[in-house]
């Protein structure tokens, strides 16, 4: 019975993880009747190239808004980091092919986040001497910061991305550099969203 519960728990964790990943690394398109025009966007979750750093995963939404002949492309970043780390500097960098671009970070917000995780466990055992049972509870509190900001991507940058084999973003959190790289099928989805 215990093995069955462990197996079902494993299946549930895999199912939840696969469902939560569905919304990332895919492009979406919709017509916006309220703001007018059409919008294409892609959600991307990127691990930093640097290992063992205070800075974690970047969740990015890159959106292309089209109103008539006007196009506007923005990248919305949410980057997780430890509370003891520095916040991001006011400038970020982007490398597309051999071209490097310096980008102003707009509307930066830093939020302190917490999450409590409770774990309960218990067991019962019976033998000829009687019944023995034990229960325990453990509560873990996780604390982190999320930096949120926007990058405006010019027409020149978008043109370069459409032809690129990789796109690299670089940010500095105090003295710590953090690099995020988009390649492969994720880059193909991004290029499709920007067309």
**The predicted structure's pLDDT at residue 83:** 92
Say if residue 189's pLDDT is above 70.
Answer: yes
**Average pLDDT score, the chain:** 86
Q: What pTM was computed for the model?
A: 0.77
Class of domain 27-115+141-194: mainly beta
Instruction: Give the domain ranges of the chain.
Output: 27-115+141-194
Q: What is the pLDDT of residues 36-46, one digit of tens each?
A: 888 999 999 99
**The predicted structure's pLDDT at residue 157:** 96
DSSP the chain: -HHHHHHHHHHHHHHHHHHHHTTSSEEEEEE-TTT-SEEEEEEEEE--SSSS-SEEEEEEEEEEEEETTEEEEEEEEEEEE-TTSPPBPSEEEEEETTEEEEEE-EEEEEEEEEEEEEEEEEEEEEETTEEEEEEEEEEEEEEEEEEEEEEEE-HHHHHHHHH-SEEEEEEEETTEEEEEEEEHHHHHHHHHHH-
Say if residue 96's pLDDT is above 70.
Answer: yes
Q: What is the pLDDT of residues 121-145, one digit of tens each?
A: 887 777 777 777 888 888 888 889 9
Say if residue 16's pLDDT is above 60.
Answer: no
* Between 6 and 33, the higher pLDDT residue: 33
**The predicted structure's pLDDT at residue 3:** 58
């Amino acid at each position: 019975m215990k093995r069955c519960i462990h197996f079902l728990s494993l299946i549930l964790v895999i199912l939840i993880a696969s469902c939560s990943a569905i919304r990332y690394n895919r492009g979406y398109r919709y017509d916006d009747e309220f703001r007018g025009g059409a919008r294409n966007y892609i959600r991307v979750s990127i691990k930093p190239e640097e290992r063992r750093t205070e800075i974690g995963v970047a969740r990015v939404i890159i959106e292309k808004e089209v109103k008539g002949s006007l196009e506007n492309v923005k990248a919305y970043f949410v980057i997780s980091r430890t509370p003891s780390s520095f916040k991001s500097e006011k400038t970020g960098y982007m490398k597309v092919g051999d071209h490097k671009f310096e980008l102003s970070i707009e509307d930066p917000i830093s939020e302190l986040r917490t999450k409590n995780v409770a774990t309960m466990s218990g067991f019962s055992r019976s033998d000829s001497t009687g019944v023995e049972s034990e229960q325990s509870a453990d509560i873990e509190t996780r604390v982190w910061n999320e930096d949120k900001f926007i990058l405006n991507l010019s027409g020149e940058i978008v043109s370069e991305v459409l032809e690129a084999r990789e796109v690299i973003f670089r940010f500095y959190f105090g003295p710590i550099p953090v690099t995020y790289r988009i390649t492969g099928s994720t880059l193909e989805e991004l290029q499709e969203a920007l067309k």
